[in-house]
Chains A and B, each alone.
Chain A
Amino acid sequence: MNAATAVMERQAFLPNWPKRAAFAALGLYILYALSTLEFTWARFMRGLEQGSKFLDRLWPPNFAPDKLMLMSEGLLESVQIALLATSVGILLSIPISLISARNLVPGWLSWIGRSIIALARSFHPMIVTILFVKAVGFGALAGILALIVSSIGFIAKLLAEAIEEMNMKQVEAVRATGASWVNVLVMGVVPQVMARFVGFSAYQLDSNLRNSTIVGIVGGGGIGATLFTAYQRFDYDFAMTILLAIIAIIMVSEVFSGWLREMFQ
């Protein structure tokens, strides 16, 4: 017994058996998952062959004027979808996050706010788009509504968390002067969460822009429909043009949102 404890003391890094077991289980699962994919070497080689043909047809991108017109129409619609969805989403997120913050409102009200947020977060924007396409028909409106839902899920959740984490002393100080609820909000809450709020909103604008390029695949408007059609017609050089344009727009938007975050720091 004594000898055993002595050995234990001398060992610097004790083996962590539960951790090892968890990793072994994970490794076994990954092997099993790989085996279900029916991934064979022949298929991989065939894929590479196919891939080089595909790359040949992808390059050079097609910059024909009529294609560019078609693309710019779709891209502009995507940008419009993202802008409208983000602005409406922000407007709706503010009241929802306020009624979800447990340090500002009574418990039953925050429970309602939290349920709205959980509901908005539970489905991928594409699935929400499918439902809205059924409800309001094909077109940009379905995409806008779907992205509003996902914006609420993200901004309202993080804003509510930011409000719950803020320093209550400042709020109490404002309250002690006899300020109304709105004044408490403007003078005690907004200054503490504004920088983070701008950060979430800028991130959501990026994310909406990314998603607005795919909602068209299921009928939600924007460049997605054009891209999907180009693929289905094996019009790969045009698809490449669209892909490059999407990447360029996203990069510009990332620079813009970084600049925005700095400005409101």
Chain B
Amino acid sequence: MSANAKLQAPIGERIWQRLSPAQRLSRFAFYLLAVAAIVWSLRRIEIIPEFLYDAPQQTWDLFQRMWPMDWAYYPMGVHGALMETFHIATLGTLLALILGLPVALLAAKNITKFKTLNWIAQFILVSSRSVNSLIWALLFVAIFGPGAIAGVLAIGFRSIGFVGKLLAEAIEEARPGPIEALTSTGASPASVLGKGYWPQVEPSFWSVALFRWDINIRESAILGLVGGGGIGVALDSALNNLYWDQVGLILFIIFAIVIVTEFFTSYVRGKII
């Protein structure tokens, strides 16, 4: 009732507030929770201060050992692994598109009208995203043994969640007009999908594919740390042997590849969208 009284008060006495009391309370609760969580983490986390004293020397030592880079190692150990990284990223993205598209169709509420199926599809997408690609790689290395196949499957399964989620959103955003027009001509469900939805979803399909490929190049560069093939294998063995000049070279190559990929994807995106 007091709110009503406030509204009816003359203009000069009204109090204008951006947030309702409930909103203010929930924001306050969030700030309190955030501060409590940070304080808790700070008090519980184990940091060994002795390690910190020589951090500057260690960093300096690291860079000194990395320079000059061991270029002679490139043709022997890096080039093949680099190409394998490319293949893993591309094939993994392809696998994710093949497996992710049906899941996206199941997850889109305007195509699949059964709530239970929507839920199952959402669950598949979320589980795929929650497991990091390195952990997927651990799983597939245990099944198929170390190598590029485990890497491709890891990249593919990790990307299903990403690709499926974005595609499902794109499908749900498709305008219903063309779909209704097609349905009213008596078109089969396959034609409605192919001629009604696909032309509307196609640009976002390619942009999602390109975006994920860009991310997958970065991810497949480290899968080798757990046996998933690619340039990460070379990195892992260089690290284990403490050949820091090779580590420096591999890091430089990864850096260069990431830059080149970024230019390439932004060029292609400009062309197709």
Contacts and interface: CB of A to CB of B under 8 A. Distances in A.
Interface of A: 29-30, 33-34, 36-37, 39, 43, 47, 50-51, 54, 76-77, 79-81, 83-84, 87, 122-124, 126-127, 130-131, 134-141, 144, 210-211, 213-214, 217-218, 221, 227-228, 231, 236, 239, 243, 246-247, 250-251, 254, 260, 263-264
Contacts of B171: none
Interface string B58-83: 11001000000000000000000001
Interface stretch (B5-13, B99-107, B250-258): B250-258
Summarize B's interface: helix, strand, loop or mixed. helix
B135 A139 contact: no
Interface stretch (B144-152, B176-184, B186-194): B144-152
Contacts of B239: 130
Given A54-B143, A231-B142, A76 B130 contact: no
A126 B45 contact: no
A29 B91 CA distance: 10
B226 A139 contact: no
Interface residues of B, number: 57
A33 B135 CA distance: 24
B135 A213 contact: yes
Contacts of A84: 38, 41-42, 45
A228 B226 contact: yes
Contacts of A127: 221-222, 235, 251, 254
A247 to B, nearest CB: 5
User: Which 6 pairs of residues, A with B, have the shortest CB-CB distance?
Assistant: A137-B51, A250-B130, A33-B87, A80-B41, A51-B143, A47-B144
Nearest to A84: B41
B249 to A, nearest CB: 13
Nearest to A247: B130
A80 B44 contact: yes
A254 B126 contact: yes
B58 A263 contact: no
8 contacts: A36-B84, A37-B87, A47-B144, A50-B143, A83-B41, A136-B55, A214-B135, A246-B130
Given A30-B90, A141-B51, A247 B127 contact: yes
Which of B48, B138, B149 has the most CB atoms of chain A within a 10 A radius of its CB?
B138
Contacts of A251: 126, 130
A54 B138 CA distance: 12
Contacts of B134: 126, 214, 217
A246 B135 CA distance: 11
Nearest to B27: A263
A16 to B, nearest CB: 11
B169 to A, nearest CB: 14
Nearest to B91: A33
Contacts of B132: 210-211, 213-214
A210 B133 CA distance: 10
A236 to B, nearest CB: 7
B30 interface: yes
Nearest to B83: A36
B210 to A, nearest CB: 12
A96 to B, nearest CB: 20
A257 B197 CA distance: 31
A43 B34 CA distance: 50
B45 to A, nearest CB: 5
Nearest to A33: B87
A43 B58 CA distance: 45
Contact of A50 (B131, B144, B225, B254): B144
A83 B44 CA distance: 12
A260 B255 CA distance: 35
Nearest to A26: B90
A137 B61 CA distance: 13
Contact of B131 (A30, A130, A246): A246
Contacts of A236: 142
